[in-house]
Amino acid sequence: MKLFLVIPCYNEEEVLPETARRLKEKFASLMADGHIAEDSRIVFVDDGSRDRTWELIEELHRSDPLYRGIRLSRNRGHQNALLAGLMTVREECDAAISMDADLQDDINAIDAMLEKYAQGYDVVYGVRSSRKKDSFFKRTTAQGFYRVMKAMGVETVYNHADYRLMSRRALAGLAEFREVNLFLRGIVPLVGFRSTTVAYERGERFAGTSKYPLKKMLSFAFEGITSLSVKPIRLIASLGVLIFAVSVGMLIYSLIRHLLGHTVSGWTSLAVSIWALGGIQLLAIGTIGEYIGKIYLETKHRPVYLVSDYLTDGDRPTK
Ligand code: UDP
Ligand code: MG
């Protein structure tokens, strides 16, 4: 089984040598036990780093063919770097595992992932068993993130970052998704195939600083929602319906007030039209939005289906 490890790196000079060393050890033991083939590789994707990351990758590659490097023309962000790596290697490997350069993802979970792969799973999600080692801030923002995503109708795997194994055919399926607003964590579940999870303990970054400040996290969450869900548009339409219902109530209320003579002249028509028009406008925007949502989904050119198995004549046992 030929395994490729894909690791996006952005300004990771502080962690790269240690990461490379530990992964090499891990690979050596996996090879010795016959779990992975000798020509398995560790692929670093340099996401337009401004420090010595690429020089280090070059050095590693010279020192041992185990290491490979891919360099992006400029910084494109974690998700794009990851995709670049996976798509570059997908036809060479039986399965690829993506993980972070800072070893926060426990590399010993690889064994369990390989085991699941051997059992026939195409996608194995690494899921954090606890967030004890994350800062309070990171933990609460991350949990809020999963909640909002869920409320917005985006299917994600709870507590799963981008540490996952994907088989060759799952990667081929992923390649069919040609959208440019890419949110991998939401798309991989859409790819389908048999999937399962493996729990691991999330460690601390052993050196360097997080490349995901709050600003990037917020835009990441926003990207996730707007690239996978048209629910916000629907919310506007629902609000329109609600306000319109209020306007009917207002109509009845104002008419009663009018008939009882408790109103100044002109108030009834004004009050009713404000509510009715507001409701109608929101409904109209929501309706237009619904069509824009359709256009939006069309422009993504997502695959309508992916075939998992096809039993043909040749597969039948011959007597
Ligand atoms: N990363 C990247 N491009 C970016 C930002 C981050 O390739 O623009 C990589 C980074 O090198 C690391 C991974 O994405 O391998 C996760 O980043 P980090 O560990 O800083 O995020 P955190 O663990 O704090 O969420
Ligand atoms: Mg990290």
Do 158 and 136 fall within a single domain?
yes
CA-CA-CA-CA torsion sign (226, 231, 236, 237): positive
- On whether residue 181 sits in a domain, the answer given is yes
Q: Are residues 168 and 24 in the same domain?
A: yes
Domain-located, residue 214: no
**178 in the same domain as 45:** yes
Tell me, using a 6 A CB cutoff, whether residue 105 lines ligand 1: no
What is the 40 CA–ligand 2 centroid distance (Å)?
A: 24
**Minimum-distance ligand 1 atom for the alpha carbon of 8:** 7
> β-strands 195-200, 160-167: how paired?
unpaired
The pTM for the full model equals 0.76
201 and 82 within one domain: yes
Instruction: Give the CB-side neighbour count of residue 10, counting CA atoms within 13 A.
Output: 17
DSSP reduced 3-state for 4: strand
DSSP state of 3: E
Residues 256 and 188 in one domain: no
Averages of pLDDT over each 10 residues, the chain, 319 residues: 93 90 92 90 93 92 92 89 93 93 88 93 89 75 80 80 92 87 84 89 76 77 79 84 85 85 79 83 87 84 78 71
Residues forming a β-bridge with 134? none
Domain identity same for 88 and 130: yes
Q: What does residue 77 show for φ and ψ, rounded to 5 degrees?
A: 90, 155
At 88, list the tokens.
Answer: 């570059």
User: Does 255 map to a domain?
Assistant: yes
DSSP 185-208: HHHHHHH-SSEEEEEE------SS
Q: Are residues 199 and 70 in the same domain?
A: yes
Lookup: tokens for 101: 């350069």
Phi and psi at 293, nearest 5°, equal -60, -40
CA of 236 to the centre of ligand 1 (A): 35
Residue 68 Cβ inside 6 Å of ligand 1? The answer reads no
d(CA 138, CA 144): 10
Angle at 110 between CA 37 and CA 40, to 5 degrees: 25
Closest listed residue to residue 164, CA positions, set 20, 2, 7: 7
Kindly state whether residue 154 falls inside one of the protein's structural domains.
Answer: yes
The dihedral through the CA atoms of 13, 17, 22, 26 has a sign that is positive
Number of domains in the chain: 2
Nearest to 179 by CA among 190, 169, 165, 170: 190
Whether residue 215 is contained in a domain is answered as no
Whether 317 is covered by a domain: the verdict is no
Same domain, 85 and 141: yes
What pLDDT does 57 receive?
93
Atom 23 of ligand 1 has which residue's CA nearest to it?
210
| 224, part of any domain | no
On whether both 97 and 29 belong to a single domain, the answer is yes
Whose Cα sits closest to atom 14 in ligand 1? 78
Q: Which domain holds residue 243?
A: 231-300
Query: Residue 318: its pLDDT value, please?
Result: 63
Are residue 179 and residue 267 in the same domain, yes or no? no
Nearest to 196 by CA among 132, 118, 144: 118
Within this chain, do residues 124 and 263 fall inside the same structural domain, yes or no? no
Nearest ligand atom owner, CA of 161: 1
- 296 in the same domain as 158: no
Kindly give the distance from the C-alpha atom of residue 114 to the centroid of ligand 2, in angstroms, as a whole number.
23
Joined tokens for residue 282? 């929101």
CATH code: domain of residue 64? 3.90.550.10
**Is 319 within the bounds of a domain?**
no
